[in-house]
Amino acid sequence: MERLKDKVAVITGAGSGIGRAAAELMSAEGARVVVADHHTPSAEETARTIEAAGGRALPVTVDVTDETSVAGMIEAAVGEFGGLHVLCNHVGGTDPRRDLDLLRMDMAEFDRAVALNMRSTLLGARYAVPHMIRAGGGSIINTASVAALVGDVLQTSYGAVKAAVVSITKSIAVQYGPQRVRCNAIAPGAVMTPALENNLPEDVVDSLRRGNALPYLGSPEDIGHTMVFLASDESRYLTGQLLVVDGGMTTQSSAAPGRRAMLPG
Ligand SMILES: NC(=O)c1ccc[n+]([C@@H]2O[C@H](COP(=O)([O-])OP(=O)(O)OC[C@H]3O[C@@H](n4cnc5c(N)ncnc54)[C@H](O)[C@@H]3O)[C@@H](O)[C@H]2O)c1
């Protein structure tokens, strides 16, 4: 299928995990993709995989917290492919060892989280929107998290900045909707990226799985497919929304796993 034929997509954090899956899936749907990451070898590897499968990909080294670097990423996309229609502001996260509870959180890590998650989202959109307007419209996809929706015992900064990403999403949707620029966010739940898979103890993975309504955890492709949908014209009436892609994690009552065992039969 060619659901993204004639579209140019920039995906940040595409050297790994969800971003890489999104880049590969968008290419498989006909998009020309800019594989943007601050780890150059990873970006190049994703681009090579895409080209080997017959797609078009441009690896770009970017630091999404740096305005000049983000401007250069967008210019590289337009210079190489002649326009821009899709931007995935995917890079984000915090260091869970420093992003703790209110009294013990590291404020330097909070500032870093603001730059990596919020500022990067604003910057990407600021440089992409004029090109999308020129192209007659576009789709911006911001990666939030279920952490924007529920409280947690740690990662105070992470929840706050991801909630801000949702707010930024709505502002962009309202401000540039008249020019047909759509903006939506995705809130992934637990997704088994290589980083998580290799670092989480088996009992933690089990408890995450039990927390879902579905009996499995997400894969990078599960989020990537949602990004493809948001990038495509199939979602042309959808803007300003947060799509929660979490296997039912935030839907399920905390009592449900225990109560399942009480069911007869
Ligand atoms: N994996 C999950 O379970 C999960 C759940 C909810 C939300 N998310 C969100 O997904 C995003 C991360 O995706 P992932 O899980 O695939 O992570 P990942 O660690 O596999 O990939 C992140 C990529 O971003 C790149 N990167 C890091 N800092 C950068 C910077 N300053 N500039 C440019 N590139 C940079 C890294 O090199 C890496 O390739 C984050 O926004 C995170 O909050 C992930």
How many CB atoms lie under 10 A from the CB of residue 255? 9
Q: Specify the residue with its C-alpha closest to ligand 1, atom 7.
A: 145
Q: Give the per-residue pLDDT at 198.
A: 79
Q: Give the three-state DSSP class for 215.
A: coil
Q: Which domains does the chain have, with CATH numbers?
A: 8-244 (3.40.50.720)
Whether the CB of 138 sits within 6 Å of ligand 1: no
Q: Per-residue confidence of the chain (265 residues) as pLDDT tens digits? A: 799 999 999 999 999 999 999 999 999 999 999 999 999 999 999 999 999 999 999 999 999 999 999 999 999 999 999 999 999 999 999 999 999 999 999 999 999 999 999 999 999 999 999 999 999 999 999 999 999 999 999 999 999 999 999 999 999 999 999 999 999 999 999 999 877 777 788 898 999 999 999 999 999 999 999 999 999 999 999 999 999 999 999 999 989 988 988 999 8
Closest CA to 49 of 30, 83, 21: 21
**Shortest-distance atom of ligand 1 to CA 190:** 3
- Find the angle CA(29)-CA(242)-CA(191) to the nearest 5 degrees: 65
Predicted local distance difference test score (pLDDT) of residue 58: 99
Residue 224 beta carbon below 6 angstroms from any ligand 1 atom: no
Look up residue 193 and give its DSSP letter: -
> How many Cα atoms are found within 13 Å in the side-chain-facing hemisphere of 147?
23
Tell me what pLDDT residue 103 has.
Answer: 98
pLDDT for 195 = 74
Is 95 a pocket residue for ligand 1 (Cβ < 6 Å)? no
**Ligand 1 atom having least distance to the Cα of 14:** 39
> How many degrees, rounded to 5, is the angle at CA 34 between CA 176 and CA 65?
70
Buried b (16+ CB within 10 A) or exposed e, 68-79: ebbebbbebbbe
**115 Cβ below 6 A of ligand 1:** no
